[in-house]
Structure 1
C-alpha cells in the first residue's frame, strides 16, 4: 500500500449504502498495479428551495440521519435553496418520491455519490492519491485530487468465444496480457510419442503460438476462465460485440452449469444491468475492469464502415481478415472443426482475438477511450453520455457561481431550429472553394457568452444595458457564466493536442466540445431551454447569411451553404494557386469584419474564425430527384490540395451510401470521374448498362439494408428488405437453423423476377430491368441531364439490339 502520494487512472466506480453510511469504491490503475480505493461515510446532498422548508422538515421527521442546512445558493428562478444532507444516498430517492406527491421538487437528487465526489473536485480520469489507510487490501479514506496528465499503461486482454449455431459454448480464446490461450470443450487427443517424451500434460496441446487447453465440461471451462483472470489480472477487456454476445453467452453458460462467472477483480461477478431504452441491450459493469467493445469504440471515435463486422473492419483497416464464408457457411465450418479438427477451431478463435487487438492498435481505440475519459469525466468504457459529460463539467462551476441545477423537464417546449442550410444552385462548376467556420457552435458560445447561468442572470437582471442581447429576446450576463470558460479550456487543450500530434486526445476534445450545443437542445438534459439553444443555432443562421452577403459583395457567388460552411463559385476556372489566393483573401476579410463588427455592435471579443477548407477544381450539385430544385447535403467534387494532389469527394450521393448497390455506387463514381476529368463518358454508360444486362456484374447487384425494427413490427408497410428477411427466416425455419432477422439487423438480397430474394434462398432469375431503371438511370440522369443528355437516349438502341 502506498505511503507517499501516487497517481492513478480510474477504471471503475461504484457506490453502496452501508450501515455506516454511503461508501464509494474506485478501482485505479497505477504504476504499482491495480488499487482499490474506498471512501467511507460519504454524505449525499440535494437541494430544495427555501420556501418549502416546512414541508421538507415535516418529511424529515420520519427520516433519521438527514438534515437541512443553510447555503449561499439559489435556483435559476433566483429562489434561495437549502441543502438536504443524507447519511445514505437512497434516502434522497425516498424523499424525492415523497415530495413529488406534494409538488415540491428536490434538485440534483439524481447525481450519484461517486459522480458528485469527482465532479466537485474537478477530477475526470486521473487522480493524485494522498493519505489513507491500508485495510484488507484497499486504501481507505484517502484524498483524491485531479491528475489530468496521468496516462498509465493498461493491461489489455482480447476475449472471443466460438459457439454452435444455437450458442452452445465450444471454446474461449484470450490474447494480450499474460498467456495466449484457448479453452476448448472436449477431451484432449491421445499424446504422441514426442509429446510423451516432453512430458506434455494430457489437457493441453502445443500450437505455434498459443496454448490449447481441453476441458471436460463447460463448467470446467468457466472455472479455467475465472482462474485465468485471477492469475493474469487485466485492466481492460476488449472484443467484438463482446458484451452483447460473448459475455452474455458466458454468463448463461455459467448459470446453466451453476458455476459463478467471476471476471471482476477480487473474484467478483458481473453486475448486469439492462439498458432502459434499448430492448435486449445490456451493460456489464464489473469491479476493477473496463469492458470496451470494438464496434462501439469505433463509432464513438467517428469511424465509418459499410459494415462493422470484424471481417469487414479488419479488411478495411488491416488489409486482411479471417472469413470462412457467410453466416451459415461459417457456422457449418465451425461445427466441422469442433467435431473433426479442434486445433483448427482454436486457431480460428484466437485469430479473432488477434485481429481485435490489431484493430485497437491501428485505430488507437484504447488511447481514444482514455483521452475521452480525461476529457469527459465519464468511465473509460462509457461511450454515450454527452449529457453526463456536460453535467460533469458544468455542475461544480455552476455551484461556485452560486446556483444549483434545475431538474430534467423543468423547462418544456420545442427545441430550436437546426443548422441553417442555404438553397443550392444545381449544376456543374469550375473552381469552387469551401470556407468553413472552425467549431462554429463552441465559437458562438465563447463569443456571445451563451450559458445557462448567464441566461438566468440576464433574464432577472435589472441593468439590461450591460447585458448581451441574443435571439428570441434572450439576454446574457457579461461576467457571470460557466460554459464559455469550459469551452475555452477544452479549445486550448485541443490546440495543444494538435500541436503535439496527439490525435486521440484532439479527437476526444473536439467531440465533447462540439456536443455541448446538442446537449443544451436535448429535452433529457436538465439545462434544456429552447431559448438557450436557439441563442446558438439562430446565431449560426445569422452568420451564414452575413457571410454570404460579404462574399457576394466581393463579386463571387455562393452556390450552397450548410450550417458552418459556404461554397463559393469563383465564376471561372482558376488555377489551384489562384483559387487558394482568393480563398485566403476572403478568409482574412471575413474574420476582420467579425472582429470589428462585434466590437462595435456589443463590445464583444470575436472568437468566430472562418477557415479555408477545400478547393474543388470541378464541382457537381445535383437536383432533387424528379425536380429542378437543387438538393441539399448532396454533392461531389474533384478536390485539389495545396500540393496539387487531386481526389474525388462524395457527400450524400449514392456513392457514399451503403443502402445502394455496389453496381450503382461504382457506376456513379465512374461516370462522375469521367465528366470531371473531361474524358469520354457515353461509351462508359452504354457498356456499363450492356454488361449489367449480360450478367457480367451479378456480384454487384446485392442490396444490403437494415431492419430497424423487429420483423413482426412490420404490418402495413412491407419494404423489400422485410420481404427478403421473412423469406430468409422461413427458409431457416424449414432447415431447423436459428432465425436471423426476427430482432432486426442487416439483410442482403437481390431483386429477382419474383421480387426481393435473400441470398440464403434464390428462386427466380435476376430482374435486370429493375437495376437499370431503379439503380443506374436515376444516377445517370442526375449527371447527364445538365449536359443535355439522358440515360434512355444513350442506352435504348443498345438494349433493343441486345
Structure 2
C-alpha cells in the first residue's frame, strides 16, 4: 500500500500516529480477515492494517446443535459461549469466522436452516472501531511494514479515539459529454489554487480573450485522456472528490469509458482500485474509493437540511453564490456543448471548469465540510455516508448494549401489533387574528426520550419482571422502562449538552449535525426497516407527545388564553386585545417560564422524574391567518401565514401555503405574498388586484406562469392518472424523438411546463397560446379567496364589474 509521503523509514520501528479515518475496508489475505483503514494525518495519508481478525455475529445458544449441523461441511469457524443474552433473556453464542468468504458461506447456510442471526450485517471494519469508541479521530500505536512493492503500511491492533481536526484537500470533478453520455469531451479538475481541463481533440491556439489561468491539456485518444486523469488523482492526491451528481453521472460515465478502454480504475491511494456498484432497489450508485471519500453536492446539502426549489447546480449557485453556469438554458445546453467542442473548445473548457468552481464555492459557502466532519465525529459514520440514521444509531448504541450484557435483536423483530401514531396535530380554528404567540417545545421527541427513560434496553429490563414497580416508568402500549442507567437517554443527554456547547461556541455545523442525529433517534425506533423497531418504543414517544400538547393546551386555557392550533411540538396561542411588540414578547417569555415550572412540578410529583421538557417562546405574529381547507369550512393543518413586525420592518412567514410550494407558479406565489402583506397591514388591495389580472390577461406575466414538478416515476409508469407535468414531458419526448435527439426526462427530473389551449406543454415547446382563464381559475382565485374570505370579500367580489354597486369596501380599500 503506497503512502502519500514516507513519514518513517525504520521498518519495524514502533510509532504512534494521530489521524482521521477516511476509508474503511475488510478483505481476506492468506485465508484470514484483515482490516484496512486509510488515515488522514498532518504529514500525509497513511495506510493502517489490522491483521488476523475474525468476523462475528450472534445466534441463540438453543440453536447450537442445528447450527453445527448446518455448518458441518464448512471450515474456519467456531461457536463460543458468551456472557450475553438476547432481548428474550436467552443466552447467545458468538459465531467467529476467520475470513469474510467463510463468514458469507456460513451466514448463507444458517439462514437457509432458518436459524435466527443477530448483528450479522455489522461490517467487521465498523465493529472494530465502534467497540473501541472510535468515531473518526484516532490514535494508533504500531510499527511499519514494507510491502513487496516497496510501500509502507502501519501494522497494529492497538488504537483508541482521539480528537483530530483534519484539513482535507478537496478536488472538484466535472465532465462534459455528448448528449447520450457515450463520448467524453473533457474532464475538469480543480483543487484549491490549481486546475486543469483535459480535452480529447486536436490542440487549438489560445484565443486572446481567454483567462490566462485556464490550462488545457490536449489528447488524441480517450485512453490517453483517462490515463492522464488517473495520473492527476495520484499526483494531486486529494482526500475527497466533490461534484454534482458526481457518482450517478460523472464517475459512472468515467468508469464505463475506462472499462471500454480496459483501463483498471486505479484511482485510489496506493494505486488501489475503485469499485462502483448500483443498488438493486434504488438504482443509486455507490463508490468504494480507497483512501478518499466522494461527496455529492446534492446529497450533502439535503443531508445538512438545506432546501431549494430545485437542486440543479445552476439554481443552487444562483441562490447561494449569485452566480450561474456559463450555459444556462437546459434545452440548449447539450447542443451548445457539442458546438463548443467542435468550434470553440476553449469556451467549453471555461464552462467545464466553472462548474467545478461553482461546486467548490458552494461547499465553502454552505460550510459542508465542517458539517460532515462534525457529523462523523459525533456518529462514527464515514464522511461520505450522508444518510444512515439507523447506522449512526447502531454505531453509538451497540457497544453500550453489549456492555449491559445484551446483543441487538433480530432485525426489525420488535412488537408491531400495537398502535403508534405520528405527531399530534390539533384541529385548527380558522380565522384572521391579531397577536398570536408560538411556543415551541425544544427537541420534543429527544426530550421525551430523556425524561421518560425510553430505551430498548430499559424496555427489556422493565418487562423482565426482575424489578419492583418503584424502579420502573410506565410508557404506552404496555411498555415499562427500568430506571437504572438506560442507554438512549444518556446518549440524548450527551448530544444535548454538546449541541448547547456548539451553539455557545458559534459552531453552527456541529449544532446542526447534533440536531439531525437527535431527531433521528425516534425514526430509528419507529421504522420497521430498523434493527430496534418496536411500537412500544415509538408509541411511548409519540403518544406521550400527544399527551404533553393536549395537557399544555388545557393549561393555557386555564390561564384564560385560546390555543388556536397545535402541531407536533408547537402551540399557537391567541392574545386578546391590543399589545405592543415588546408587551407580546414579554408575555410569551412569561408563559413559557410558567408552563415549564408546571411541567417540572407535575413530573416530579406524579412520576418522580426530572423534567427535561423545555418550551420556548418562539415568535410573536402581529397578524396571523389560519386558513380553511379549500372548499370547506374546516380549519386546515400545517398551513398558515403570519406577519412578524419589528419596528417599521415587517416579515411574512408562510407554512405549507402556495407561496412556499414549488408546484405552484411564481405568479401565484407572488400574488399570495403581496396580497397577504396588504391585508395584514390594512392596505388597499382591490385596484392592485385588478391590475394584476390585467397584466396576466395582457401577457405581461407569462414568465411567471411556468410550473415545475418532479417525475417520481419513469414516464411510462404513469397509466391511470397522468398528471399535467407527465403529459407535457411525453409531448416533449415525442418531439425529441422526431428530431433524433436523446431522452431528456427520467425519474427524478424536473419538468417545466405551461398550460395552453392545447393542454400542458413543456417549456420550449409551446404550440398554442397560454390558457389565461385556466390560470385564473386554478392559480389566482384559490390564493385570493384563501384570505379575502376572512375580510368578507373574495375574488368575484373584488373583480366583478358591478362590485361597486353592492359593496362599499372600495371606499376603505382603495
Q: For structure 1, list consecutive stretches of 5 or more residues without a partner in the other structure.
A: 195-204
CA distance in 2, matches of 1:607, 1:399: 27
CA distance in 1, matches of 2:99, 2:619: 57
Aligned to 1:691: 695
Aligned to 2:47: 36
CA 1:676/1:229 → structure 2, altered by over 3 Å: closer, same or farther? same
When structure 1 is superposed on structure 2, of 24-33 and 259-268 the one drifting more is 259-268
| Cα displacement (A) at 1:718 | 1.0
Aligned to 1:398: 401
The alignment partner of 1:23 has SS state of: strand
CA contact (8 A) 1:173 1:353 kept: yes
- Alignment of structure 1 residues 156-171 onto 2, 5 Å: 156-167=170-181, 168-171=183-186
Indicate which of 700, 715, 719 corresponds to 2:719.
715
| Cα displacement (A) at 1:687 | 1.2
| Cα displacement (A) at 1:28 | 0.9
CA distance in 2, matches of 1:71, 1:268: 38
| Cα displacement (A) at 1:304 | 0.6
- Alignment of structure 1 residues 108-507 onto 2, 5 Å: 108-136=119-147, 137-147=152-162, 149-167=163-181, 168-177=183-192, 179-189=194-204, 207-279=211-283, 281-411=284-414, 413=416, 416-462=420-466, 463-507=468-512
CA 1:262/1:682 → structure 2, altered by over 3 Å: closer, same or farther? same
CA distance in 2, matches of 1:246, 1:445: 43
| Cα displacement (A) at 1:416 | 1.7
CA distance in 2, matches of 1:336, 1:493: 54
Aligned to 2:795: 791
Aligned to 1:679: 683
| Cα displacement (A) at 1:798 | 8.9
| Cα displacement (A) at 1:14 | 1.1
Indicate which of 581, 584, 600 corresponds to 1:579.
584
Aligned to 2:704: 700
Aligned to 2:812: none
The alignment partner of 1:284 has SS state of: strand
CA distance in 1, matches of 2:560, 2:204: 82
Q: TM-score, normalised by structure 2?
A: 0.94
CA distance in 1, matches of 2:457, 2:443: 22
CA distance in 1, matches of 2:746, 2:142: 55
CA distance in 1, matches of 2:308, 2:802: 37
The alignment partner of 2:259 has SS state of: helix
CA distance in 2, matches of 1:261, 1:50: 45
| Cα displacement (A) at 1:142 | 4.3
CA 1:98/1:256 → structure 2, altered by over 3 Å: closer, same or farther? closer
CA distance in 2, matches of 1:354, 1:798: 59
| Cα displacement (A) at 1:131 | 2.0
| Cα displacement (A) at 1:132 | 3.3
| Cα displacement (A) at 1:270 | 2.0
CA contact (8 A) 2:581 2:645 kept: yes
The alignment partner of 1:329 has SS state of: helix
CA 1:178/1:655 → structure 2, altered by over 3 Å: closer, same or farther? closer
| Cα displacement (A) at 1:166 | 2.1
Q: TM-score, normalised by structure 1?
A: 0.95
Aligned to 1:770: 774
| Cα displacement (A) at 1:47 | 1.4
2:37 is the alignment partner of 1:26: yes
CA distance in 1, matches of 2:749, 2:33: 43
Aligned to 1:66: 77
| Cα displacement (A) at 1:5 | 2.3
CA 1:480/1:695 → structure 2, altered by over 3 Å: closer, same or farther? same
CA distance in 2, matches of 1:220, 1:494: 50
CA distance in 2, matches of 1:344, 1:32: 39
Aligned to 1:556: 561
| Cα displacement (A) at 1:100 | 3.0
Indicate which of 565, 572, 575 corresponds to 1:570.
575
CA contact (8 A) 2:239 2:292 kept: yes
